[in-house]
Structures are given as structure tokens and as C-alpha cells.
Chains A and B, each alone.
Chain A
Amino acid sequence: MGEKYKPKILIIDDEKGIRDGTKRLLESEGYSADTASNGEEGIYAGTTVEYDAAIIDLKMPGIDGIAVLKAILKSRPNTVCIIATGYASYETAVESTSYGAFGYIPKPFTSDELLQKINQAVYKRQLLLESEKWKKEREERLLEVAFEKTRLNTIINSISDGLLVVNKEGQAVLFNPSALKFLGVENILIEEQVIDRLPEGISSLIYKFLRSGKYEKTTYSARLEPSNTTDLFIEAAASAVPHHDGSLAGVVVVLKDITEMKKLEQLKSQFVSMVSHELKAPVAAVYGYLQLLDNSSISLTEEQKKNYLKRSQLRLDSVLKMVNDLLDISRMEMKTITREIKEIQLGSVVRNVIEFLSLEINKQNLNLKLELDEPIPTVNADMEEITRLFINLLSNAVKYNKPGGSIEINIFSSGGFAAARIKDTGIGLMPEEKEKIFHEFFRAKNEMTKDISGTGLGLSIVKRIVDSYAGKVEVESEFGKGTAFTVYLPVNTEAGISIKEKEILTDNN
């Protein structure tokens, strides 16, 4: 700490004797004092420097004391001003204080009177400064609080989960737009009695806390099913909000949209039950035949026995095929297939597939035509997958064709795609079947397809492979006339997934 602070006093008086005497007196008492001999000087000094206090003579030639007082206070409101006057009267006192003077001192004054007044003024000055400081701090804090509140609101409004806070009286205190949406409520007013407007599942959660009236560190949760106000599945968790002293302040409810999860769950169980059904059907058929063969009370001819064994084998084949297809699908979904991406000529893949299926093609006496546009398009893909894709498409064209029918294959470029069109003269599809053809286990069922075996997974695998290369597959068909599938695969650019998987592949190596 330095020297003791010397309060700065300004003396404004046109009488030299009073100026100098006052200055000497104050300085001897530990003040620092400046003087001004007229109103003009006084205003200049009093506005340029922040004085703790000023003694202003009321009657001066030119600018009088009241004008000086006003001028100083205007720019230095915390300078405590005392009016000195030889004409002390009640009116002057009132007048000067009404302009903001702290007080007045009658002239002539004694040293003691002056010092007492100055002391009071300096004390007043301290109070003024202090209150100013508090005011400033308070304003700053309010600003900070306001800012904090807006920031918090922005954060709360932007989160995708719903948030609703009610106080102990059941009034809404805080909520965000997601909460309105999830609760199926149009609007909530702050301080509105809101609980009974909420879905029953939510209000009962809140009441659990409000009834006990005590803060408890538990979270209750509930699930909301879609209702007439919202078509969402919502998971709600309610917790008590404590006051500083640990008593119950209110309840906060956090709402989560679990609709997508529910949908996936549903898809999953649908898929599981479809798979079970599809697997169980052949098992039940084989079981039935075995029971017949094993049953001594039912007599079978040798031919029947042979037939049942053959049928059983066929059904078991289909189970095996289906399990393999399912494993492929699951590998595709888990992306555990290791791809070897290289440049593939669609023409040569299709030729190989035709070769592979030639036995069936000949058996059905089918007329096959392959047309390749020059230059023959290439794609960057995994040979095994593309081969699989064409085996599935072409074997369908064979299986569902009529004996002596034909298959036309065109390979061509189309925009940024390499395309292959496989057209058969088979059974064809009904319009409603066309939509479902790529669904797992969907098989067109009619008189003509009943003896054709299949897993119902072939085309769904085709679609998965095509999608994974960011390509597309289109189907045109007329029932009774035939079906054409066109596959488009991006030319020579490695599709997003392929590139990524290739990178992963190299990383692993």
C-alpha cells in the first residue's frame, strides 16, 4: 500500500482570502486542494478532473455558483458539491440541494464548520462510489444471467430429445419444441397448469413425485404408444429436481423418440418369423414323408417310397439353399464380405454364367441370344458378387421360362452406367407382384410356379448387391408373356462403399 489517499477538494471562490485560507486549512488536514477564482475556471477544473468534493461560492461575478454546480454534476455526478454562501437562507439551501448540491455552508465559516462539512462530503462520496460499484456489478451480473439464459434456451431448444420441467405446483417452467411434438400438445404457456393436458403415461409419472412432495433420487420411465395426437413411440424418463436445500423443486421429464427403433424391432421380428416359417415348411414336409415311410400301418408302393425320398431330398436341398442365402444376406448386412475390387467386363461374366447354366438351358430347350454393344462396358466390382448377381437373374429367366422359350441378354452403356438387360418369355408377373419381387421370401404363387423351387431370396440378394455398388435394378413384366430385368452398375468409378471397403481391406493387410 502507498501513502494514505488524500481526498481531492476543489475550492471555487472569487475572494482570494477565502480560497487560500481554505486551501491551507484543508492541506493541513490531509486533503489535497485546488482552487479556482471564478465560475469559468471552476467549471473547467471541476469537469476535467474527478474531485471528491467541491466547495462552490454561490455569488460570483459572471457565472454564478448554481451554474457551476450544474455543470460539474453533469459531467462528474459523483463529485460531492457544497454551496458556500454569505446569504444563507432556507430558500438558497433548498434551491442548491434541488440542483444536486450535497449541502451548503454559510459564510463566513469557521475551520471546524468547514472541516465537518468536508468530512461529511467525503464520506458521502465514498458511499456514492460504493453504490455505483454495486450497481455496476449487479448490472453486469444481470447481463450475464440473461446471456446465460438465452444460451441455455438455445441449447435446450436445439436438442432433439424433448424436455419439460414443471414446478412443485404442476406449472410448466421450461420446455422445448421437441417436447410439444412428442407429447402431441399444440402449445404450453409458462406457469400454465399443464399436467392434466399431458398424455396419461406422462402425467402419472409427474404425479408420483408431486404426491410425495419430497425430493427422491429416482427416475421413473414410461413408454408412449402412438395416439390420436402423435404417431410416435416415445420413451419418457422423469426425475425430481431438488432445491439447494434438498427439498423438491419440480420434475424434469426427458422424452426420446424411439419410433425408428420400434420399427426396426418390428422388421426384425417379422423377418425372424418369415425365416422360421420358410424353414419350417420344408422340415414339416420331410417330417411328414419320413413318418409315412416309417409307419407300418400305412402300406406304400415302391414307387411311392422312391418318390417320397426324392421329394424329401428336394425339400432338404431347398432348406440348405435357403440357409446359404440367408448367411449371404447376413454377411452382406454385417459387411463382413471381403471384396476384391477389380475391373470386370460384364460380357465375360455373363458368358461364364451362361456356361454354368447351359445344362438347364438345354434341358428347357431355350433359345438364348446375347448382344454386346461395343465398347463392352466394364465395372469395378467383386467378381464373385457380380457372378452371383447374374446367376440369380439368369437362373430365374431359365426356371420361370416356358419350354422352348427364349432369353435375350443385352449388355450396353447407359449414361455413367454399365447395363445388362435379361429378358425372358416366361410366366411374367402380376402388377402387384412386381412391387414385392425384391422382398425377402416373396415368391409369385400361381398354378405355373408351384412346381418351381426357390428360396424367395434370389432377387433380394440381387437388389442388395446392386445397391451396394450404388447401382439400380429395374423390372418390366407382363403376366403370361415374360419379364425383363435391367441392372445398372456405375461404370469404372468405384462406388462409395466399394472404395471404402477396399481401403479397409488394404488397411487390414
Chain B
Amino acid sequence: MAKIAIIDDDPDILDASGLVLTSQGHEIVTATNPDDGYKIVMDNKPDLIILDVMMNEPDDGFFLAQKFRKEKIFTPIIMYTSVSKSIGMDFGVNEMVPVDEFVEKPISPEQLIEKVEKLLHTEAGR
């Protein structure tokens, strides 16, 4: 089983996503802002990070992801998005947006579990 960090400013999303993943036997650490998010990742060294793109600022999650990569933290990242496309930030997985998967909110438990398992397996296979 894996350790997963969820960073999102919406406590209800943390709650629901956390529960879905703990039901799968994963260990969850959470944070509601980029600063705390950075801290829990550094402290807990999770196997996977779930990161909301829009926290205080519309691109907080995006910058946090870049910061991780810059500091050679290559933990796989799933990015939660909601309306980023309509603000003109048409994300794709690339060097500038160094995440492994995008998920548009809301997400069903099955989808979340599937994406998480997929990334954890590729990671294990690396």
C-alpha cells in the first residue's frame, strides 16, 4: 500500500478523496494550501501527490508542481483541475506542466482509484 499526499483548499474534497483512498488501504496526508503542501511532501515523502491547480491563486498548484520538479522530487503528480481551460490555461502534460495526469473535478471514486493505481504501478515498474 502507498502513501498519498492530497493538496487541495477544499476540505470536503480532501475528505471525500481521502476516504476513497483509505478504503483502498492507502495512507493519506493532506494540506489545504501550497506552503503546507510542500511541507507534507518533504516530511512524508509520499509515493503519489494529488494536487489541486487552483488554490489561493489560479495557478498555485502549477507552481508547486514546478517547485517539486526543480528540487528533483519526481514523485508522480495527479493534478485536479476545475475550470482552468476556460481561463486560457490549456494544460497538457509537458515540461512546463510537470505532472503525470490531469483529472477534471468532480471525479468518481472508481476513476480516482484507477488513476492512482495506474500511476503507482508505473512508478513501481520504473
Contacts from A to B (Cβ < 8 Å): 269-270, 272-273, 276-277, 280-289, 291-292, 295, 297-300, 304, 308, 311, 315, 445, 450-451
Whether A298 pairs with B83 at a CB distance below 8 angstroms is no
Whether B106 pairs with A283 at a CB distance below 8 angstroms is yes
Q: Is the interface of B mostly helix, strand, loop or mixed?
A: loop
| Cβ of B11 under 8 Å from chain A | yes
Interface string of B55-75 (1 = CB under 8 A from A): 110000000000000000000
Whether B108 pairs with A291 at a CB distance below 8 angstroms is yes
**Residues in A neighbouring B13, C-beta threshold 8 A:** 281, 284-285, 288
| Cβ of B10 under 8 Å from chain A | yes
- The smallest beta-carbon distance between A263 and chain B, in angstroms, is 15
Question: Which range holds the interface residue count of chain B?
Answer: 20 to 34
Whether A273 pairs with B10 at a CB distance below 8 angstroms is no
Whether A285 pairs with B10 at a CB distance below 8 angstroms is yes
Q: Roughly how many angstroms separate A276 CA and B16 CA in the complex, as a whole number?
A: 21
- The smallest beta-carbon distance between A437 and chain B, in angstroms, is 14
Q: Residue B106 contacts which of A276, A288, A300, A311 (CB distance < 8 angstroms)?
A: A288
Closest B residue to A444 by CB, please name it. Answer: B56
| Cβ of B105 under 8 Å from chain A | yes
Q: Roughly how many angstroms separate A232 CA and B13 CA in the complex, as a whole number?
A: 43
Can you list 18 A-B pairs with a CB-CB distance of less than 8 A?
Answer: A270-B87, A272-B86, A276-B83, A276-B86, A282-B12, A284-B106, A285-B16, A286-B12, A288-B12, A288-B13, A288-B17, A292-B109, A297-B23, A298-B19, A298-B23, A298-B109, A445-B33, A451-B11
**Residues in A neighbouring B15, C-beta threshold 8 A:** 288-289, 308, 311
Whether B23 pairs with A445 at a CB distance below 8 angstroms is no
Given the contacts A272-B86, A292-B19, A298-B19, A450 and B11 also touching, CB distance less than 8 Å: yes
Q: Roughly how many angstroms separate A272 CA and B11 CA in the complex, as a whole number?
A: 24
Q: Which 4 A-B pairs have the closest CB atoms?
A: A288-B16, A285-B12, A287-B106, A284-B106
**Residues in B neighbouring A451, C-beta threshold 8 A:** 11
**Residues in B neighbouring A273, C-beta threshold 8 A:** 83, 86-87
Q: Roughly how many angstroms separate A422 CA and B2 CA in the complex, as a whole number?
A: 51
Closest A residue to B113 by CB, please name it. Answer: A297
- The smallest beta-carbon distance between B125 and chain A, in angstroms, is 26
| Cβ of B40 under 8 Å from chain A | no
| Cβ of B44 under 8 Å from chain A | no
| Cβ of B78 under 8 Å from chain A | no
Given the contacts A295-B109, A450-B32, A269 and B86 also touching, CB distance less than 8 Å: yes
Whether A311 pairs with B12 at a CB distance below 8 angstroms is yes
Q: Roughly how many angstroms separate A287 CA and B106 CA in the complex, as a whole number?
A: 7
| Cβ of B101 under 8 Å from chain A | no
14 new A-B contacts, CB < 8 A, other than A277-B82, A280-B105, A288-B107, are: A273-B86, A276-B82, A277-B54, A282-B12, A284-B82, A285-B13, A288-B15, A292-B109, A297-B109, A298-B109, A308-B16, A311-B15, A315-B12, A451-B11
Q: Roughly how many angstroms separate A299 CA and B33 CA in the complex, as a whole number?
A: 29
Interface of chain B residues 21 through 74 with chain A (CB within 8 A) = 23, 32-33, 54-56
Whether B86 pairs with A291 at a CB distance below 8 angstroms is no
Closest A residue to B111 by CB, please name it. Answer: A291
- The smallest beta-carbon distance between B79 and chain A, in angstroms, is 14
**Residues in B neighbouring A277, C-beta threshold 8 A:** 54, 82-83
Interface string of B97-126 (1 = CB under 8 A from A): 000000001111100000000000000000
Q: Roughly how many angstroms separate A300 CA and B9 CA in the complex, as a whole number?
A: 24
Q: Which of A285, A289, A308, A450 has the most CB of B within 10 A?
A: A285
**Residues in A neighbouring B56, C-beta threshold 8 A:** 445
Q: Roughly how many angstroms separate A277 CA and B6 CA in the complex, as a whole number?
A: 19
Closest A residue to B85 by CB, please name it. Answer: A273
**Residues in A neighbouring B88, C-beta threshold 8 A:** 269
Q: Roughly how many angstroms separate A292 CA and B21 CA in the complex, as a whole number?
A: 11
Q: Roughly how many angstroms separate A289 CA and B12 CA in the complex, as a whole number?
A: 8
**Residues in B neighbouring A285, C-beta threshold 8 A:** 10, 12-13, 16, 106
Whether B23 pairs with A281 at a CB distance below 8 angstroms is no
- The smallest beta-carbon distance between B102 and chain A, in angstroms, is 15
Given the contacts A291-B16, A292-B19, A450-B11, A280 and B82 also touching, CB distance less than 8 Å: yes
